[in-house]
Amino acid sequence: MNQRDWELLDKQLWGVSPSSPWRGTAWGLAFVAVFLGGLSIGAILFAQQRQTQLTLHDATTVLSLLDSSPQR
């Protein structure tokens, strides 16, 4: 292969071989960090709502048990 062939090959493969191997790793780590951050925030927000729903459900259960208790 002569110099012209190498230049053509470089032009054709410019998108296949990245200039820096760490570039893809940085994007991958950033994606994982954002994903885990979103999961954490969602867990905190929905845990508060779920706790409220469970409290209301527990109160309903207690009231229904009191209503069905035998009277003396």
For the chain, how many structural domains are there in total? 1
Enter the tokens of residue 47. Answer: 């845990």
Q: Per the domain annotation, does 50 fall within a domain?
A: yes
- Cβ partners under 8 Å of residue 9, min gap 6: 1
Rounded average pLDDT over 18-40 = 81
Residue 14 is predicted with a pLDDT of 75
Residue 15 lies in a domain: no
**Is residue 39 in a domain?**
yes
Q: Three-state DSSP class for 1?
A: coil
Q: Is the pLDDT of residue 24 over 90?
A: no
Q: What is the pLDDT of residues 32-62, one digit of tens each?
A: 999 999 988 888 888 766 655 556 666 677 6
Domain that holds residue 25: 20-72
Mean pLDDT of the chain: 75
- Nearest 5°: phi and psi at 17? -105, 110
pLDDT band at 1 (very low <50, low <70, confident <90, very high): confident
Helix H, strand E, coil C: the string for 46-59 is: HHHHHHHHHHHHHH
